[in-house]
Amino acid sequence: MKFRFIALALWTWYGVSNANFLKKESQVSANLFSTMVGMQTLTLVLFVLIISWLTNQQLVSNLLAKDGLMSYFIGVIVLGIVASWVATWAWNQTSIRLTVSMAGMMIVFESLFGLLYSFIYQSSFPSILEWVSIFFIIAGVSFGIWRINKEKIPEHSL
């Protein structure tokens, strides 16, 4: 349970600091920042492979023995471009255009799509408790967006 709070804290920190960085550092474009994050992710994957090999982990040898190294690298490249670069680019565009509070609510959709993908992968439907949780997440974000918009538009101007 404590890891969920740590993950929540890290995602909150990332969302706020990313938005603040992109708004303050106008000389760094959202595209450049996305590319930097994508390159760092690729470097991290290569670093993990090297550490795995140096510590005699079976990751590299398993990939080589099963002729899986090429599939692994194709997966890394596809996920690196789609999941890392494109997603980071989209998030950076969101961070620039929305307030920090609004952008923070948008990060929830990453979790919802993660759930969707896992349900599709497992060929299952959410349990009733999961449906209720999904409903409350969407309702909470919708309420937050409504509240923010209501405060921006004075009632007498409607």
Which residue, of 98, 123, 150, is where some domain finishes? 98
Are 11 and 107 in contact by the 8 Å Cβ rule? The answer is yes
- Per-residue confidence (pLDDT) for residue 92, from 0 to 100: 84
Are residues 87 and 123 both part of a single domain?
no
Alpha-carbon radius of gyration of the chain? 20
> How many domains does the chain contain in total?
2
Which residue, of 49, 65, 98, is where some domain finishes? 98
Owning domain of residue 156: 107-158
Are residues 32 and 89 both part of a single domain?
yes
Q: State how far the Cα of 147 lies from the Cα of 6, in Å rounded to an integer.
A: 28
Q: State how far the Cα of 46 lies from the Cα of 52, in Å rounded to an integer.
A: 10
pTM for this prediction: 0.59
Are residues 123 and 50 both part of a single domain?
no
Q: State how far the Cα of 37 lies from the Cα of 43, in Å rounded to an integer.
A: 10
Are residues 124 and 79 both part of a single domain?
no
Question: Nearest CA to 28 among 106, 82, 88?
Answer: 88
Are residues 63 and 116 both part of a single domain?
no
Q: Kindly report the CA angle at 106 between 22 and 34, in degrees rounded to 5?
A: 35
Are residues 150 and 90 both part of a single domain?
no
For residue range 90-128, list pLDDT tens digits in order.
888 888 888 877 877 777 887 888 888 889 989 999 999
- Per-residue confidence (pLDDT) for residue 150, from 0 to 100: 80
Are residues 63 and 87 both part of a single domain?
yes
Are residues 52 and 93 both part of a single domain?
yes
Counting residues of the chain whose pLDDT is more than 70, the rounded percentage is 89
The predicted model gives 34-57 an average pLDDT of 80
> Average pLDDT over the chain, rounded to whole?
80
pLDDT at 29 over 70: yes
Are residues 6 and 84 both part of a single domain?
yes
Are 95 and 19 in contact by the 8 Å Cβ rule? The answer is yes
Helix, strand, coil tally for the chain in percent (to 5): 85, 0, 15
Are residues 124 and 48 both part of a single domain?
no
Are residues 3 and 71 both part of a single domain?
yes
pLDDT at 60 over 70: no
pLDDT at 18 over 90: no
Which residue, of 98, 123, 144, is where some domain finishes? 98
pLDDT at 56 over 60: yes
Residue 3 Cα to chain centre, angstroms = 17
